């Protein structure tokens, strides 16, 4: 029924204003009347104007600008867009239009908020330039979804139910994936028209376009045929949006179609039979889910589940029984047994389960009085057993016990005797024998071998014991153990003259020293010791009574060994005359001196040494002799180094007239001059000069993308404050602005916000990190179009104040940087590019001004940011000094051939004649006063009479030189007026800033 109503509405579309509220009809009638006053040249103007009146839509064109599109075809696409624009009611409150071009990257030609009139859109389309790169269609749709249709770029909020439309034109297969991103765009309610030209895969177009495909997907043979689609899109874009005028009751989305509408569901849902409500898509029924037990639908997918008592395996599809015992909290003492949805505890054989149903107790079978064991009862796993005491064995009745006869049972083989014990048996020997190590045989006892017999020399075994004996030449003592030697000298008449000495079996006679035994072996004769020849005397041997002594020749004396001789001490024997020391040398002597002295020429007296005079002291400045050494000293103003020989200058900066204007720094034996913060060293190397007091408009463009990180972002902030410190910040000198960008651009402060470096650095410290992407090209566009505008504090180009930008980035931009960097440089902005880490050198070169060695700075990491800062400061200083020199030169020079008046020559210029000159177009008249003329008061302007006839003139007023003189005078007056206005503006801005940030 509702479809029939929709058809009726289409038939009555011409009468639709009568069904709208009165106010809406009046607005429609009013706009139609106002439109009627203008004449349109397009052949379909009348139809289009009536059908698209008051049409609200956000329309974004996405144009394929790849290499495969030639210049002729590209022009046809632009004509097609111009035709579409003819029947659109373009304006902020009706249809808003944006346009993207894409190749390998996406270029935003203009957004939904850029233009407010159709004529502006048409001019922008005509100015478009072909990109001629790749075909990244998916990237372009992603850009439209994330950025082009954002409220920040002019898209109206979804709650206003304004249709969002993409019209994409492509001629080839995309180099990236389009299906997923196009589906996301359609799910957000964006209506996509896909237009393919030439050899385009139809399936690719269907993956991009909205459904039904017959209304949203179009394919033409070539670009010349694309204009045939104009009337088709007129009907589709200008048809009344049924979703906005009917109560469609769509549960999720309402999609306008030509003359009607269709309901659509979110991803993961499907439309019910009523074509309005939605239900979760039953993927369990339509797909091979492979779930082992249960399949449960969720939006856009499904999950597998298991019955009670089972759990899902790691593959998310199979089910395994829950092992409750494996949970390790069952508490069973012996065994755990899985049961239905739970577990049971079980005891091993011979144990019983306790009332707690977890612990086990062993069964005591012996506790029963009927076991009948004679000695002991022992529990077994499931019964009991009788056991006998040691030395007993169990009888066949398994209960009574009898003693064990191990000797009879085992037949051990004892040589002498076998003895039973409780636990077995042992062998025993008769008296006088001992048991062998084998425990069975016997050997006679060796009493002497027991080592406790006490015999001093010999031990002899008897049957039951032992006796001691002595060796030959000895007798046993009364203790029957020790022995004493036989004293032959005592027992016999030895007959020795002097002494008798016992030998092993007899005795021998001995003589005293100095005597020798005679042949009878008993008497002694005196010995001549010197005659033996072994006395060892060097000079003379003199025999004594029983020995000898050595003596020396005249002039010699006996040494301490009592045998050798040495010459007597010549130094003691003669008057040598040595002042210090006399040293005997054979039969003579020599004189020597103590340390620190040398021998005089007479060979006897000593002279004190001069250590410094030796020439090997090594002292750099002065050598001072001491008693037996020397010390080094330095000249005035120097001090001794650690080697105690060389000298270095004391504090050079204090001891010399260094001439440093700011700071003197010692450097070894010299010094260097340095400057305070904000100053640099002048050419002489001693004086300092401020970086510049001259004016500059400087804008920082800072990358705040997520690849940078918050820690490195703090380093970048320090880098910015360091550059600010090197400038003379004030309204008349350096003005500084700062942009931070990621996927969007944020103005942290403009060129007009701060008039002091202190307030500016506070703003930098409190700057918040953005994160997200890296749209460097978008930031350069913002800088060029806004940051250097007079509205944001930039001084006019006519003032010739230098303009500079410092662009910092740490990675590849997600958009094109070359266009806006080139525009900035072409308009006189000096571009400095600073790259760190993954920054792309090609992009930095596109950004930086020439020569790049002075305007491009790159570092591997953030550790060298300080070095870059110093180089950048120096570069900015040099650039500002150069600009100071250029500003000092006059703005315009007279041509050399122009006539210049002399002091005595009056100048008369008829202003009316000048204004009427055909070669000098003047649109404004200026009032000149004599005091403002650049020459003396003798040179003056003469006015014409009221009749208009000129006074007598010396020169024709229309001559070139008079025109140039007039033009220069006019320019000078305008310049002075502009300068006064700017000074007043700066004072007002400074006052506003003080009030704002107080």
Which pLDDT does position 894 carry in this prediction? 31
Which pLDDT does position 538 carry in this prediction? 87
Greatest alpha-carbon span in the chain: 194
User: Are 830 and 855 contacting, i.e. CB atoms less than 8 angstroms apart?
Assistant: yes
Judge residue 190's burial from the number of C-beta atoms within 10 Å of its C-beta, 0-12 exposed, 13-18 middle, 19 or more buried.
buried
- The DSSP annotation for 940-952 comes to ---PPPTT-PPPP
CA distance 141 to 146: 9
- The DSSP annotation for 185-219 comes to HHHTTEEEEEEEESS--HHHHHHHSPSSHHHHEEE
Which pLDDT does position 976 carry in this prediction? 78
Predicted TM-score of the model (pTM): 0.30
Which pLDDT does position 52 carry in this prediction? 64
Structural element, H or E, at residue 893: none
Three-class DSSP labels, 27-88: HHHHHHHHHHCCCCCCCCHHHHHHHCCCCCEEEEEEEECECCCCHHHHHHHHHHHHHHHHCC
Scored b (16 or more CB within 10 A) or e, 489-500 reads beeeebebbeeb
Task: Provide the 8-state DSSP code for 399.
Answer: S
Q: Which of 192, 234, 236, 238 is CA-nearest to residue 217?
A: 192
- For 275, what's the count of Cα atoms within 13 Å in the CB-facing half-sphere? 6
Backbone angles phi, psi at 460, to 5 degrees: -120, 125
Scored b (16 or more CB within 10 A) or e, 824-841 reads bbeeebbbbbbbbeebee
CA distance 352 to 347: 6
Which pLDDT does position 111 carry in this prediction? 97
Sign of CA dihedral 944, 945, 948, 951: negative
CA distance 197 to 79: 15
Judge residue 387's burial from the number of C-beta atoms within 10 Å of its C-beta, 0-12 exposed, 13-18 middle, 19 or more buried.
middle
Domains and CATH numbers, the chain: 2-9+46-238 (3.40.50.410), 528-568 (2.10.25.10), 569-608 (2.10.25.10), 696-888 (3.40.50.410), 911-985 (no CATH)
Structural element, H or E, at residue 740: strand 734-741
CA distance 741 to 762: 19
Residue 116: count other Cβ atoms within 10 Å of its Cβ: 13
Which pLDDT does position 909 carry in this prediction? 44
Q: Encoding tokens for residue 536? A: 């060892």
Angle at 493 between CA 491 and CA 494, to 5 degrees: 100
- For 19, what's the count of Cα atoms within 13 Å in the CB-facing half-sphere? 11
Which pLDDT does position 968 carry in this prediction? 66
Q: Which of 470, 391, 400 is CA-nearest to residue 423?
A: 391
- For 675, what's the count of Cα atoms within 13 Å in the CB-facing half-sphere? 17
pLDDT per 10-residue tile (average), the chain, 998 residues = 40 33 35 35 34 80 92 90 90 95 94 95 94 90 95 91 92 89 91 91 92 90 86 77 79 74 80 89 80 87 88 91 81 87 87 90 84 89 87 89 83 86 85 87 84 85 84 87 86 85 85 83 82 82 80 82 82 83 81 85 85 81 81 86 86 82 82 75 74 81 92 92 88 94 95 94 94 92 95 92 93 89 94 86 91 88 81 78 51 35 40 44 36 37 38 43 62 78 79 66
Whole-number Cα distances in Å, 927 to 891, 924, 949, 968, 969: 22, 10, 20, 14, 11
Which pLDDT does position 726 carry in this prediction? 83
Which pLDDT does position 882 carry in this prediction? 64
CA distance 165 to 124: 20
């Amino acid at each position: 029924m509702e479809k029939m109503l929709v058809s009726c509405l289409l038939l009555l579309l011409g009468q639709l204003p009568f069904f709208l509220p009165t106010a809406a009809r009046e607005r429609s009638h009013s706009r139609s009347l106002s439109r009627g006053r203008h004449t349109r040249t397009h052949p379909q103007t009348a139809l289009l104007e009536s059908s698209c009146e008051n049409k609200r839509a956000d329309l974004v064109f996405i144009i394929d600008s790849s290499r495969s599109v030639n210049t002729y075809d590209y022009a046809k696409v632009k004509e097609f867009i111009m035709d579409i624009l003819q029947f659109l009611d373009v304006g902020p409150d009706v249809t808003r239009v944006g346009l993207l071009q894409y190749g390998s990257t996406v270029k935003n030609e203009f957004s939904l908020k850029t233009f407010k009139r159709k004529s502006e859109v048409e001019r922008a389309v005509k100015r478009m330039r072909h990109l001629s790169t790749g075909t990244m269609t998916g990237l372009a749709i992603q850009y439209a979804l994330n950025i082009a249709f954002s409220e920040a770029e002019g898209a109206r909020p979804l709650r206003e139910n304004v249709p969002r439309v993409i019209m994409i034109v492509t001629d080839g297969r995309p180099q990236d994936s389009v299906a997923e991103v196009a589906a996301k765009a359609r799910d957000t309610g964006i209506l996509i028209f896909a237009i393919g030209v030439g050899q385009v895969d139809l399936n690719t177009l269907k993956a991009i376009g909205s459904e039904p495909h017959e209304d949203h997907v179009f394919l033409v043979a070539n670009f010349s045929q694309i204009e045939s689609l104009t009337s088709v899109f007129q009907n589709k874009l200008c048809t009344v949006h049924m979703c906005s005028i009917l109560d469609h009751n769509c549960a999720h989305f309402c999609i306008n179609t030509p003359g009607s509408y269709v309901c659509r569901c979110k991803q993961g849902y499907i439309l019910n039979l009523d074509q309005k409500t939605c239900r979760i898509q039953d993927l369990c029924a339509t797909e091979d889910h492979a779930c082992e037990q249960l399949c449960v639908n969720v939006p856009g997918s499904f999950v597998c589940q298991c019955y009670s008592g089972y759990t899902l395996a790691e593959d998310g599809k199979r089910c395994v029984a829950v092992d409750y015992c494996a949970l390790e909290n069952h508490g069973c003492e012996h065994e755990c047994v899985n049961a239905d949805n739970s577990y049971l505890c079980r005891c091993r054989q011979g144990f019983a389960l306790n009332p707690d149903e977890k612990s086990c107790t062993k069964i005591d079978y012996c506790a029963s009085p009927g076991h009948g064991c004679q000695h002991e009862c022992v529990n077994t796993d499931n019964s009991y057993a009788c056991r006998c005491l040691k030395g007993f064995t169990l009888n066949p009745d398994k209960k009574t016990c009898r003693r064990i006869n191990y000797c009879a049972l085992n037949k051990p083989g004892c040589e002498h005797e076998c003895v039973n014990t409780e636990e077995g048996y042992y062998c025993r020997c008769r008296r006088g024998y001992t048991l062998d190590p084998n425990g069975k045989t016997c050997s006679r006892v060796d009493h002497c071998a027991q080592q406790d017999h006490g015999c001093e020399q010999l031990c002899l075994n008897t049957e039951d014991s032992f006796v001691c004996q002595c060796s030959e030449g000895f007798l046993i003592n009364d203790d029957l153990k020790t022995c004493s030697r036989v004293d032959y000298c005592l027992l016999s008449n030895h007959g020795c003259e002097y002494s008798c000495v016992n030998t092993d079996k007899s005795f021998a006679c001995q003589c005293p020293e100095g005597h020798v035994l005679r042949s009878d072996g008993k008497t002694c004769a005196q010995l001549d010791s010197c005659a033996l020849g072994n006395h060892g005397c060097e000079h003379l041997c003199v025999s004594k009574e029983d020995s000898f002594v050595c003596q020396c020749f005249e002039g010699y004396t006996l040494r301490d060994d009592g045998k050798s001789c040495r010459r007597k001490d010549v130094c003691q024997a003669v008057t040598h005359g040595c002042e210090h020391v006399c040293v005997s040398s054979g039969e003579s002597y020599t004189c020597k001196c103590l340390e620190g002295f040398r021998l005089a020429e007479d060979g006897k007296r000593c002279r004190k040494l001069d250590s410094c005079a030796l020439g090997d002291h090594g002292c750099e400045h002065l050598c001072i002799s001491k008693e037996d050494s020397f010390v080094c000293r330095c000249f005035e103003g120097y001090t001794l180094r650690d080697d105690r020989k060389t000298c270095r200058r004391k504090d050079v900066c204090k001891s010399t007239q260094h001439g440093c204007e700011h700071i003197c720094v010692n450097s070894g034996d010299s010094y260097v001059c340095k400057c305070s913060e904000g100053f640099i060293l002048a050419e002489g190397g001693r004086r300092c000069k401020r970086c510049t007091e001259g004016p500059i408009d400087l804008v920082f463009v800072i990358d705040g993308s997520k690849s940078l990180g918050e820690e490195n972002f703090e380093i970048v902030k320090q880098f910015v404050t360091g550059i600010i410190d090197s400038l003379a910040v004030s309204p008349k000198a350096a003005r500084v602005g700062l942009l931070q960008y990621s996927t969007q651009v944020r103005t942290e402060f403009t060129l007009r916000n701060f008039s002091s470096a202190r307030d500016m650095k506070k703003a930098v410290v409190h700057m918040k990190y953005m994160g997200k992407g890296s749209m460097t090209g978008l930031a350069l566009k913002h800088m060029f179009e806004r940051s250097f505008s007079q509205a944001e504090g930039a001084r006019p180009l006519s003032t010739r104040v230098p303009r500079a930008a410092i662009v910092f980035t740490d990675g590849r931009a997600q958009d094109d940087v070359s266009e806006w960097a080139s525009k900035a440089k072409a308009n006189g902005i000096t571009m400095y590019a600073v790259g760190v880490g993954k920054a792309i050198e090609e992009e930095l070169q596109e950004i930086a001004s020439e020569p790049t060695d002075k305007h491009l700075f790159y570092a591997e990491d953030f550790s060298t940011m300080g070095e870059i800062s110093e180089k950048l400061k120096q570069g900015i200083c040099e650039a500002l000094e150069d600009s100071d020199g250029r500003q000092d030169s006059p703005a315009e020079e007279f041509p050399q051939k122009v006539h210049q008046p002399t002091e005595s020559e009056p100048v008369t210029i008829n202003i009316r004649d000048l204004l009427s000159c055909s070669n000098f177009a003047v649109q404004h008249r200026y009032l000149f006063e004599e005091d403002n003329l650049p020459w003396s008061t003798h040179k003056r302007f003469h006015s014409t009479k009221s009749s208009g006839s000129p006074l007598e003139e010396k020169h024709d007023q229309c001559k070139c030189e008079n025109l140039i003189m007039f033009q220069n005078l006019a320019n000078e007056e305008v310049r002075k007026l502009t300068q006064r206005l700017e000074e007043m503006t700066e004072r007002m801005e400074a006052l506003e800033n003080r009030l704002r940030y107080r």
